[in-house]
Amino acid sequence: MGRKAKYHRSECIEKAMHLFWSRGFSGTSTRDLGECLDLKPGSLYATFGSKEGLYSEVLRHYAEVSSATLDECFREASDFQQGLSAFFDRVLASQSTSSSCLLAKTLANGEPELQKLRKEAHELMKRFEDRLTQILRPFYPDHSQARLERVARFIQVQVMGLRNYSGVSPSSDTTAALIKDVQASIDRLLRD
């Protein structure tokens, strides 16, 4: 009988996500990952191929969780702003690990060896933007595709900015006021 694995892949990816998210790719050593995941280096490489392979899976997991959260917030929303407000609340409340978006953090890392991971992060951000565009469509059926894509892009930029800002600002009142300003800007973009 084979030895029972003492880990579950999905749990490892979740734990690794929080470690990478808080320390960044370069700030996380293979040893750190082994300790966090309770895996020996050989098992880590056998399971994920490399640190980059694990990080790639972490990026996809992060994007899936973000998209699932977005979908959940809009599932029962009576209007777009209600769903968006729920999404802002959920995203900003779940920042126990880091205030920055993990995809944006990856894109900001200029190390040449991370080019492939930056490209993947960019593609995942584009998918999120496309999902936002799809969510906007039923609420604004008369708007052009280009306009909805522009609004989706604007929302994504605002989410990244709010995440960063709320990480450095201790005032939830200030963040709440900024969210209202962002929502008013989105309303204007959709009305004009």
For the chain, what are the domain ranges? Answer: 59-191
Nearest to 66 by CA among 18, 127, 7: 127
Residue whose tokens read 């584009």: 126
Contact 72, 135 (CB under 8 A): no
Q: In whole angstroms, how far apart are CA 109 and each of 50, 52, 59, 112, 117?
A: 18, 14, 14, 9, 10
Per residue in 30-89, pLDDT tens?
A: 999 989 988 887 888 888 899 999 999 999 999 999 999 999 999 989 999 999 999 998
DSSP 162-189: HHHHHHH---HHHHHHHHHHHHHHHHHH
Per residue in 123-176, pLDDT tens?
A: 999 999 999 999 999 999 999 999 999 999 999 999 988 888 877 766 778 888
Contact 27, 108 (CB under 8 A): no
Q: CATH for 59-191, among 1.10.4190.10, 1.10.630.10, 1.10.357.10, 1.20.120.1200?
A: 1.10.357.10
pTM of the model: 0.87
Amino acid at 169: S
